[in-house]
Amino acid sequence: MGEKNIEYKSKQILEYYRSNRRTWDEFYPSERWVFQKIADEKGLLGDVLDVGCACGGLGAALSCKFPLNSYTGIDINKDAIDWASRETRLQIPTRFTAGDIVCCASKEEYDVVASLSCVDWNIKTKDIISACWERVRPGGYFVSSLRLTSEKGVNNIKKSFQYVNFSGEEEDPEVANYVVFNVKEAMSALSELDPAPTLIGAYGYWGSPSPTAVTLYDKLIFSVFYIKKGTEKPYPHEMAAELRLPLEAFL
């Protein structure tokens, strides 16, 4: 059956996310730009599924900024989900589940499926992407952050990883897979989703890997993709692209 996704259990995950990424201004410019674009187009974000939701901070931040019908969060870290379930700022229907989206039995669809700092932090990246896409409602969006390079990508936790404890000083530290996608290969993989997207957009910029990351790269493009699903079957073969990424990534 191959490797499973890592069931992160580090207490540092809860400690970090219950105090960080809780308000709109704590999210990255690329993340805020993408959600604002979708909201401007749709008028509201509707039903949102947050894959890798941690303590539910994205739901709280979005609900203070845009109209939401509901917010559902799933995360592989049970402690984070237990804390998120006590969230009191969300005044909309809310549900939290501890588990792996790849193994989740529910196939409920959503207007926006978001997965920030999740797809490229685990093992079965393509399976996570496919599971997210499967749950996007026709006409909806899949939003995901990805690390990009113009060089060869890597999905090997022995070659590229980050300390989950944010220091790496513990005797037996837990580490996360630090996945980096070649930009052209990422575009190819996303265009091959089933059903094929009608739009692939991205906004990103160069930056340095985290000081707690052990990886092959000195600089990366930190990007957020927004991928739209068509509304009519059979889904059209034409696909638009809106790529606000550094030009040199494609050279």
Q: What is the pLDDT, as a whole number, of residue 1?
A: 47
Distance CA 37, CA 228 (A): 12
The reported pTM is 0.95
Distances, alpha carbon 99 to alpha carbons 9, 54, 103, 197, in Å: 12, 11, 8, 27
Distance CA 185, CA 141 (A): 20
Model pLDDT for residues 77-113, shown as the tens digit of each residue: 999 999 999 877 788 999 999 999 999 988 999 999 9
Distance CA 246, CA 251 (A): 10
Model pLDDT for residues 166-178, shown as the tens digit of each residue: 766 667 789 999 9
Q: Which CATH architecture has domain 11-250?
A: 3-Layer(aba) Sandwich (3.40)
Distance CA 85, CA 56 (A): 8
3-state helix, strand, coil in the chain (%, to 5): 25, 30, 45
Model pLDDT for residues 200-242, shown as the tens digit of each residue: 999 999 999 999 999 999 999 999 999 999 987 666 668 999 9
